[in-house]
Amino acid sequence: MDSTVGKWFLNWVERGNPATDIQTGGAGTPAWSEGNLVRPLVHGAPYFSRLQAELRGLQSGDRVWFTDWRGDGDEQIAADGPTIGGTLARLAKSGVEVRGLVWRSHGERISAPISGRSNELLSRQINDAGGEALLDQRVRLFGSHHQKLVVIRRRDDPSRDVAFVGGIDLSHSRRDDARHEGDPQAVTMDSRYGPRPPWHDAALELRGPVVADVLAVFAERWNDPHPLDRHTPYRMLLQRLARMPRHPKPLPETAPPPPPAGPHAVQLLRTYGLKHPPFPFAPDGERSIPRGYAKAFAQARSLIYIEDQYLWSTEVAQGIAAALERNQELNVIIVVPRYPDSDGFLGGPPRRLGQLRALSMIRKAAPDRVGVFNLENSEGTPVYVHAKICIIDDTWFTCGSDNFNRRSWTTDSELTCAVVDTSTSGAQGGEPRASGHRSLATELRLQLWAEHLGLDEDDPRLQADGPGLKLWNSMSGALDRWHLTGRRTPRPAGQVRPHVPDPVPPLHRLWADPVYKYIVDPDGRPRGLRGTDRF
């Protein structure tokens, strides 16, 4: 790898529990996969468009394997296009091998309304067409399968194999774009997001040898010999009523990895909770996601940029705070939703309490070098930030299913991609090469900042040596003042507002604290690690 910075990052972030080689059951995949082509897909509409394009040309003998937290069979891939369930069912009928693992929610009952049975209905639609999409509850108690991946392999042309990994579910509310007008097929959220909640999300399109690594993650879960229904009579009954088997059918022999496709190195980081019976591929659980972030935070020099759905754990915050204390040149910019997705009397206080504590820890470390913001669309409706992105020094970035909270780092099954652009030979951070090209991390940051701040991607203020946090504070302050003064003048540019969570009254804290600790953000680490900063 040519880039000095890239080498440092590749050495920092080690895979804690390598994926098992599904062909041989042997030593596992390398910590990093080089020779890949990575394409960030910001927003659900572009992601669904790319997914539809890849699915459209599949033929008998090709394969589509996917995992999901929530799937809605009637979600349209395009405004006037086919549905997710209809597309996958059509492929299964045509001889394409369609296999899926979707989470079986703890609270999902056979008698639940349609909206509560979305995963079951999607699975049955695929299965009735000849595919095999299964409800999987092999998770830690109160945990979930939160990984979102799709792998497409072509029988006759491995060079066209592709994987998608990120935070975007195959479900309602996800198909939004940069205008943030919301998906017409919306989920019910806090009323302040409106009937069509604006939605900000991201995923990665992957080509090259890493596609086989993503497939290995799917195969590990699929080949887990434990029953899908957690052994309880109630779950066994639900599985039978849903016409679901207790064990998946064996997978076919895997094909060799696709050939090299580009200049990007990708590392797959994961979370699996410690549970009984254990995951055979992670008997003590796996926490390579937090270990990866800990090493990257420790080496951050100028900027940590985060977009996240939650960010409400002190275990997450302390790594960022420590980085700020070590390096007086480091700035941190964080983008989160303005309100939790459910901010009622019972759901809101525990979530806000966790975030208030985390942000307080970070801000205390460096009050003048931390900015926390939320987004709104041109109509002033808050944008729900569902993206899970972290960019450090315009060199190393992540995108996946994991959130910045203890649950995501210790309990739920998660998958994220850490990416380094090896083509930026000799470049430091966001500096361009002699040819003028910038790193993939820089391009992603510029795209996100330009959208949020209402600027052109070529605006010099967005560059790595630009004003950064001062620019965010200035533009968010201008929009905030415009609202406070009655919106009598033209609306300032951008989507950015300062993030100030509503306080949690002392009386509410008495019950919100245990609810947060044990239900909202549980700790799935081995007992000896709980209460520590070790993962």
pLDDT for the residue numbered 239: 67
Question: How many Cα atoms are found within 13 Å in the side-chain-facing hemisphere of 200?
Answer: 27
Residue 142 domain flag: yes
Q: Which two tokens stand for residue 244?
A: 């679901």
List pLDDT tens digits, range 200-245.
Answer: 999 999 999 999 999 999 999 999 999 887 656 666 666 666 677 8
Residue at token pair 């959130």: 403
- Report yes or no on 180 lying in a domain: yes
Tell me which H or E stretch contains 127: helix 118-128
Q: 435 in a domain, yes or no?
A: no
pLDDT single digits (tens) 26-50: 334 458 999 999 999 999 999 999 9
| The pLDDT value given to residue 248 | 87
pLDDT given at position 14 = 44
pLDDT at residue 105, as a whole number: 73
What are 279's two structure tokens? 């995951």
Helix axes 314-326, 288-299, angle to 10 degrees: 20
* Residue 45 · residue 82 · CB < 8 Å: no
Q: Give the integer Cα–Cα distance in Å for 151 and 116.
A: 26
pLDDT value of position 533: 85
Which of these, 168, 202, 406, 402, lies nearest to 289 by C-alpha position?
A: 402
Residues 523 and 73: their CA atoms lie apart, in Å, by: 33
What average pLDDT does this structure show over 433-442? 74
Task: List the one residue out of 391, 180, 189, 425 whose CA is nearest residue 293.
Answer: 391
Asked if residue 431 has pLDDT above 60, the reply is no
pLDDT at 187: 94
Chain-centroid distance, C-alpha 410: 15
Per-residue pLDDT, 238: 66
Q: How confident is the model at residue 7 (pLDDT cuts 50, 70, 90)?
A: low
What does the block give as tokens for 346? Answer: 């019972």
Can you read off the two tokens belonging to residue 480?
């905030």
Point out the least confidently predicted range of 134-143, 348-357, 360-369, 463-472: 463-472
Identify the band that residue 4 occupies on the pLDDT scale cut at 50, 70 and 90.
Answer: very low
The yes-or-no verdict on residue 5 having pLDDT over 50 is no
- The residue assigned the tokens 């979305």 is 118
Alpha-carbon distance values, 60 to 83, 92, 153 (Å): 20, 9, 11
Average pLDDT of the chain, as a whole number: 89
The predicted-structure confidence for 443-488, as pLDDT tens digits, reads as follows 999 999 999 999 999 999 998 666 799 999 999 999 999 999 999 9
Higher pLDDT, 83 or 106: 83
Q: How much is the pLDDT for 359?
A: 96
What secondary structure does DSSP assign to 39-74, as a single string? EEEESHHHHHHHHHHHHHT--TT-EEEEEES-B-TT
- Tens digits of per-residue pLDDT, 92-150? 999 999 999 999 874 544 434 444 588 999 999 999 999 999 999 899 988 999 999 99
How far apart are alpha carbons 310 and 308 in whole angstroms? 6
**Number of compact structural domains in the chain:** 1
Q: Which amino acid is at 156?
A: D
- The reported pLDDT for the residue numbered 16 is 36
The string of pLDDT tens digits covering residues 391-422 is 999 999 999 999 999 999 999 999 999 999 99
Q: Is residue 322 part of a domain?
A: no
Q: Does residue 378 fall inside a structural domain?
A: no
Could you tell me the pLDDT band of residue 22, with boundaries at 50, 70 and 90? Answer: very low
For residue 521, being part of any structural domain is answered with no
- 205: domain CATH number is 3.30.870.10
CB 46 within 8 A of CB 177: yes
Which range marks the domain in which residue 63 is found? 30-262
User: What band does 180 get if pLDDT is binned at 50, 70 and 90?
Assistant: very high
Chain Cα centroid distance, residue 279: 22
The answer to whether residue 519 is domain-embedded is no
At residue 117, the pLDDT reads 83
- Percentages helix, strand, coil for the chain, rounded to the nearest 5? 35, 20, 45
The pLDDT value recorded for residue 437 is: 77
Structure tokens given for 338: 């303005």
Does 361 fall in a domain?
Answer: no
Q: Report the alpha-carbon distance of residue 224 to residue 221 in Å, rounded.
A: 5
